[in-house]
Every structure is written in C-alpha cells, then in structure tokens.
Amino acid sequence: MPTQRFYNLTESKKNTIIRAAKHEFSRALYSEASINKIIQEAGISRGSFYTYFEDKEDLLKYIMEDFQNKCKSAIWKALENAKGDLFNAVDRVVFYVIQHGRQTEDFNFYKNILSDYHLTTDTVGFRQHAFLHNYGPFHEFTEGCFQRLDKDKYKLQNAADFGYLLELICIVSLKTIAVVYNGIASEDDAKKVYDKQMNILKVGVCR
C-alpha cells in the first residue's frame, strides 16, 4: 500500500497521480502499462514514484480499493432491496454493470483490469496475490452480506461457510462482465452461461 509520503501529499497532487495511473491503465492492459508514462503525465520523478509506491502493482491495489468499496456498497444495497435474496441481488448488480458500465468515465480502466486478471494468482476483484480467505477486506464483505442475507433461503448458517459460496459467485460474476466488456461474448450469450453456472451454485449437481 502507499507510503506515508504519498498520504502526506496534497489532495490535488494525489489526484493527479491517480488520474495519470488510471489513464495509463485505461490505455493498456496492466501487464503492459508503463510507469514511465504515469510519472510523465503526473509530473513526478521516477524516484518520487518509488517513495510513494513499491511498484506498479502497489499503485493498482490502491486504486482498486475504490472498486472494492463500490462493489461492496452495491451488493449490500442490492441485498437489502432484494430482501436478502443473494442470487437476485447479484443478478441486479451484474447486469446493471454490463448495461450501464460503458457510459462511465472509467469504463476502459475496468475493462482492461477485468481482462487481465489471473484466477490462479490474483484474488478476483481484489487484486491480491494472496489466499482470499485470509484477506481481511473479504471477511468484512462476507460478514456484511451475511448480515443482510435471508438465512431461511440458504443452508449455510455462518459467515465463514457463506464466504466459500461468495467467492464462487464473485468469480462467475466478474468473468461474465469481462467477456461482455471485451467483446468475447454478446450479453445474451454471456447471460445464458451465467444463468446456468449460477443455477448450479444454487442447486448443486449431485442427485
């Protein structure tokens, strides 16, 4: 995460650096994004960059905190509106993002990030090279969802067990958004696969 020197910058300077980073991550996939272009646009030296962030990944993790918080708030609100029906709430959020995401200022940023994640090394949506179930923010997200859940609908009766289901739902949801955003599948085709995968999560596969 950023050093204290970054947090000590003025809000204007911090925002300039973040805007430059988002611009570069919008232009190129994360793996191809250039620190040199970020520092040139932000008007800082390479030395200064490394006193603020450990590396490019550290910078992206900081930016992705906003993504995490938006996702968390959207799911929690949707759960409340759906009266605790998790699958209904996730449907609302996923297809709202698909249908309206292209109109947002940060569309290309999110499109590139979603197209560049690796299921085996990154915790989807959290950009963490870590085991998700040891990751504090995911525990907070899980607990918040569990509190809003209609527990009569589900067999999982504690937040820890519920977290295993939630991780699978996150993977399916973000993959669905990614394939539509990147033109790999139409919204209709992606929805057909999404619906089948979500139904398996709902009912299981064993007789």
Q: How far is CA 78 from CA 85, 94, 140, 197, in A?
A: 9, 11, 17, 20
Domain 1-54: top CATH class:
mainly alpha
Q: Residue ranges of the domains in the chain?
A: 1-54, 64-203
**How confident is the prediction along the chain (207 residues), in pLDDT tens digits per residue?**
899 999 999 999 999 999 999 999 999 988 899 999 999 999 999 999 999 999 998 999 899 888 788 889 999 999 999 999 999 999 999 999 999 988 888 899 988 888 876 544 455 455 555 566 777 888 899 999 999 999 999 888 899 899 999 989 988 998 999 899 989 999 999 999 999 999 999 998 888
Name the pTM for this structure: 0.83
The Cα 143–Cα 199 span in angstroms is 23
CA–CA separation, 114 and 173 (whole Å): 11
Q: Are 49 and 35 in contact (CB under 8 A)?
A: yes
Please check whether residue 1 is in contact with residue 62, taking contact to mean a CB–CB distance below 8 angstroms: yes
